[in-house]
Amino acid sequence: MTSIDLNSDVGESFGRWTLGDDAAMFSSVSSANVACGFHAGDPTVIRRTCRNAAEAGVVIGAHVGYRDLAGFGRRFLDISPGELADDVVYQIGALQALAAAEGTKVRYVKPHGGLYNAIVSHTAQARAVVDAVKSVDPGLPIMGLPGSEVLRLAEEAGLRAVTEAFADRAYNPDGTLVSRTQPGAVLHDPAEVAEHVLRMATEQSVRTIDGSILKIRAESICLHGDSPGAVAMATAVKSALADAGISIGAFA
């Protein structure tokens, strides 16, 4: 591998509440998953994030989630497929308008948090997400976990399915992410995160929570912008990839 996309969840501030240092993250990543207002973000934050991403040459993606501001979109919602599809269409459309106002555009869709985890195996909700994206723009790729239902259904529907790995999350031996309720689920040490990413990029594998090695092939690697020390981790990853001769570039 000579190039890899690094993505980050951004635009997650809300009103007077600030989360993450998006501007600093833009110096290390190539794709920005912009919150669309349902799990985080508001119109002013979203528009500013689009502007800053465009100025930094970072590609914009719609970070769609459950309608759950209080839970930051990390809780599963037993929502009907029809309602979920409408919510996803609404979020993509809002981001498209605000991106257009800043002279840029939405290039892909990445589900967030509880929705992301649910559609690894929840077929009905996965299909709702795919149907929503296809109805808005069948040219929009969907990003998700390798082997997930949403990516399988995306490919069946003729959409581009983009596999993703996580720089700062621990993995179970079956390839799923360790629940955030468990100790060790989130990685914080920049050196450990950089090693994690290098293994993904150079060996297409990851060390799981039990120490075993799992083969994983990803077109994009996520660095969470809301994690403590996110900027330091992103800087370490960027430096480690450069030392290995691997460039950072958007997949979309």
Q: What is the pLDDT of residue 143?
A: 98
- What local confidence, expressed as pLDDT, does residue 225 receive? 81
Lookup result for tokens 């690894």: 120
pLDDT tens for each residue of the chain, 252 residues long: 689 999 999 999 999 999 999 999 999 999 999 999 999 999 999 999 999 999 999 999 999 999 999 999 999 999 999 999 999 999 999 999 999 999 999 999 999 999 999 999 999 999 999 999 999 999 999 999 999 999 999 999 999 999 999 999 999 999 889 998 998 899 999 999 999 999 999 999 999 999 999 999 899 999 988 888 899 999 999 999 999 999 999 997
pTM of the complete model beyond 0.75: yes
Q: Give the pLDDT confidence score for residue 229 in this predicted structure.
A: 87
* CATH fold group of domain 3-248: TIM Barrel (3.20.20)
Name the residue ranges covered by the structural domains of the chain: 3-248
